[in-house]
Chain A
Amino acid sequence: MTFFLLLLPPVFAALLAFVIRPYRPFVGWVNALLSLVSLGAALAFAAQAIAGGAAPTWGLALGSLGLVDVLRADSLSALLLVCVTAVASLTLFLSPGLGRPVNRPHWGELAYGPEQLRRYHVFINLFIAAMLLAVSANNVGVMWIAVEATTVFSAFIIPLKLNRASIEASWKYILIGSVGIALAFAGTVLGYFDFVSLSGRAENALNWTVLLATAPALHPEVMRLAFVFLLVGYGTKAGIAPMHTWKPDAYGESPAPLTALMSSALFAVAMYAILRWKVVADATLGGDYTNNLLIALGLLSLVVAAFSVVLATNYKRMLAYSSIEHTGLMCLGFALGPLGTFAALLHLVNHTAAKSLMFFLVDNIEHKYRSPLIADTRGLLKALPWTGALFAFTLLMLIGLPPGGIFVSEFALFRAGFALNHPWLMGVALALLAVVFVSFINHLNRMLYGAPTEGVVAGETGGWRTALLFLCVIVLVTLGLTLPAPLLTLLNQSVEIIAK
C-alpha cells in the first residue's frame, strides 16, 4: 500500500500536466503537493526500517512473469527514498511555472513558454517516478529499466531552451548515458547467466535477495567480468571518471531544477545500483576485487576533478566537477570497509542536500547576471545580498568546512582510510582535496567582492523561494552539527546490508 503512495503521485502529476493544455500554474502547485505525499511514504518506509523487522515487499503472483516481490524497501532503499523524495519536493516547489502568470518573465529574461512548462512538468515527474522505482525495486532487471528510463526522461528536459549548446549537451548525455546503461545491462545479463549456469533458470533469479543468497556459490570469473561491466555502466550514470565527460556539459546547459535533481538524486540512484551489485559480487569474490576497482576509479575521479576545477571558467561546470570530486570520494569510501561505507553513506546524504541547494542558488545568480561565467559575476554580495551569502556559506560547506555535514563525513572517511592502513592513498586524496579547496576559494573570492558587473541591478528577486533555500541551509547545518538518532540507526542498518 505504501508503495502505491510512493510511486503513484509523480505518475499522476505527470498525467495531470499532460492533460491540462495549455499549462496553468495550479498544475505546478498540485505537482508540488503530490510530491509531499511521496515524501510521506518514504518517511514511513524509513520509520518501518528503523523499527526493525522484515523489509516490506510488494509483488504480483502472475504466474511466470517474474513479478513476485518485485519491490522491496529495506534500510538502504529507505535512506535513498527519503533523499530522493526530499530533493524532488524541493525541486517541484522551486520549479518554473508556479505562481506567476506564464506570460510574465520569471526571475529575469529566461522565461519559459506554456508549451515548454508543460513538457517540463510532464517529464520531470516521470523522471522522479523512475528514480523512485529504481531505488525500491528488488528485481535488478526492473532497477535497470528504471535507470534507463531516467536517462530518457531527463534527456527531454535538458534542452528546454533549444540552442546549439543545449543540443550538444543533450546529445552527449543521451548517447554516453545510453551506451553506459547498455553496458550495465550486459553486466546484469552476465550476472543472471552466472546464476543460470549454476542453478538453472528461475523466475525470481533477478531478485537481488535471491542473487545474494546464491552468491557464494556463483562462479568468480564470470562475476568479475559482470562487475566490470556493471561498474562501467552504472558508473557512467554516476559520473565516475573516465565516463564523466557528459556531466559538465549537461549540468551547464540544463535548467537549474533538473540539474539539482540530476546532481543529487540521480547520482545517488546510480551509486545505489553499484552498491547493490557490489554486495552480490563481494559475496562471490571476497571484498578485494571490487574495492580495488572502486579505489582506482575513485582516485581517477578525484584527479580529474581537482585539475578541472582549477581551470574552470563557468561556475555551473565548476559545480559539475565538484560533483565528480565527491563521486570519487564516495567510491573511495565504499571501498574502505564498514567504517568507510558509513562515511560514504553519510557523505551521500549530505552531498545530496548541499549540491541541490547550490544549484538553486546558482539559478538565482544566473538569472541576475545573465551569464554563467565566473569572470562576468562580480560583486555578488552587493547585487544579491541574501543569495550571495547563502552561496558562499553553502560552497564553503561543500568543500568540507565545518559546521557542514560534509566535513563530518570526509573526516570519517579519512579516519577509516588511515585505520585500514592506506596512508599513501589517503595522503594523495587529501592533497587533491586541498587543490579543490584552494581553487574554489579563489573562484569564490572573485565572485563575491567588489562592485557588481555593469548592467546588473542590485536587489533580491527571489522572494519566498530564497527564504525556502535559507531554511534548507539551516537543515543542512543541523545535520552537520548533530546526527539525529533515527538517521544514525538507518545509516548503521544500511552499512550492515552493504559491508558486513
Chain B
Amino acid sequence: MKRLSIFTRGLIKENAVLVLMIGLCPALATSGTVRDGFGMGLAATFVLFFSNIIISMMRKVIPNEVRIPIFILIISTFVTIIDYFMQAFQPDLYRALGVFVPLIVVNCMILGRAEAYASKNPVLNSALDGLGVGLGFTLTLTVMGAIREILGNGTLLGMSVFGEGFKNAPVIFLILPPGAFLVIGVLKALLNKYYK
C-alpha cells in the first residue's frame, strides 16, 4: 500500500498551500469563489500531473546541467495547452482567473515536485505524487473559495444560499484581498491547533 501513501501524502499531510506554504499566489488570488478556486486547482493539477509523467519518463535522458530549463520547457508547454483550451471551452473561467493561468508555470509546487520527485522516481509513482499534491492544492482552494463565497457573497457556485431576502453581501470583506489573507491565516491557525 505504499503507492497509496504517495498519493495521500500530497492531500493533507504535505498539503502544498497549508503545510509546505508554496503556491500561495494563486491560492489567495483565485479563491474568491468556489468555481474559480476549483477551476484553478484542476488546471494546476493537470499541469502537475502531466509534467510529472513526462519528466519522469525522460529522467534518465535529461542532462543534469540543463535540467531546470528542460523542466521549465515541459511545464510551460502544458501550461500553454491548458491556457488555450480554457480560452476555447471555458471563457468565463479564463477571464476570471486572468493572468494566473499562465502564471501556473512558476507555481513553486510544480517545479518543486519535478525537481524533488519526478526526476528521481518511476512514472507511476510520479503520476500518483502529482495527482495527490495537485488534488490537495485543489481541495485547499475549493475550501477557501467556499468560505469566501458563502460568507462574502451569499452564494455558492453563483446560487444564492441564504435565500432571496438576503440581498446584501454579508461580509464583502472576504471577497476582497484582505479577506483572502484572513481566511488563509485562520485556516493555518486551525491546522496548527488541531493537526500536529
Whether A and B are associated in the same complex: the answer reads no
Please report B residues at the A interface, Cβ cutoff 8 Å: none
Please report A residues at the B interface, Cβ cutoff 8 Å: none
